[in-house]
Amino acid sequence: MGNAKNDQEHSHIARREELPRSAGQRLASGRRRTTDARGCGNNKLCTPDFFYIIKDMAKREYLGNFELVVMLALIRLDENAYGVPIAREIKARTGRRVSLGSIYATLERLEANGLVSSKLGEPTPERGGRAKKYFRISGAGLRNVRETQRMLINAWQGLTKLEGRPA
């Protein structure tokens, strides 16, 4: 692992809240850091409005493009939805090659939001005794896909440039 001196010097990284926040704190460059009562200094992004926007973005109502494609693959695959078949389904339907890492990261995020659930299958010798993790869309996830579909249909209506006419 790391040496004790190096670990001690950088221990503040893991415990950021323990850093001193006094006005006029010296930076490594020798300059003084000026801070306000919140410890934000000259950082314009450190405002209550900014943090509210970030919090609000985390609970958005509609699925992002890739999230929607993953959810649609789950619906199509039903009981057989795990990493490799999901990637194949996305490739077959969209022509996009996607990494398993991006699929699993998206599935974990969707699961944390209650839009999908997962269960471990039986370990198999072909996988070196590891079990497959199967995913399934939840009721909330299905409602979210339907709402996203409605929103997209409404957004597309009346756009004559997208109705198959030459641009």
Residue 93 one-letter amino acid:
R
Burial pattern 45-70, b for ≥16 Cβ within 10 A else e, equals eeeeeeeeeeeeeeeeeebeebbbbb
Sort 40 into a burial class: Cβ within 10 Å, 0-12 / 13-18 / 19+.
Answer: middle
- State pLDDT tens for residues 131-166: 899 999 999 999 999 999 999 999 988 888 877 666
Answer whether CATH 1.10.3210.10 is correct for domain 65-157. no
What's the pTM value of the predicted model, to 2 decimals? 0.61
Q: How far is Cα of residue 41 from the mean position of the Cα atoms in its chain?
A: 29
- State pLDDT tens for residues 88-139: 999 999 999 999 999 999 999 999 999 999 999 988 888 788 889 999 999 9
The H or E element that residue 116 is part of is strand 116-123
Binned at pLDDT 50, 70 and 90, residue 167 comes out as low
Let me know: does 24 contact 32? Beta carbons within 8 Å. yes
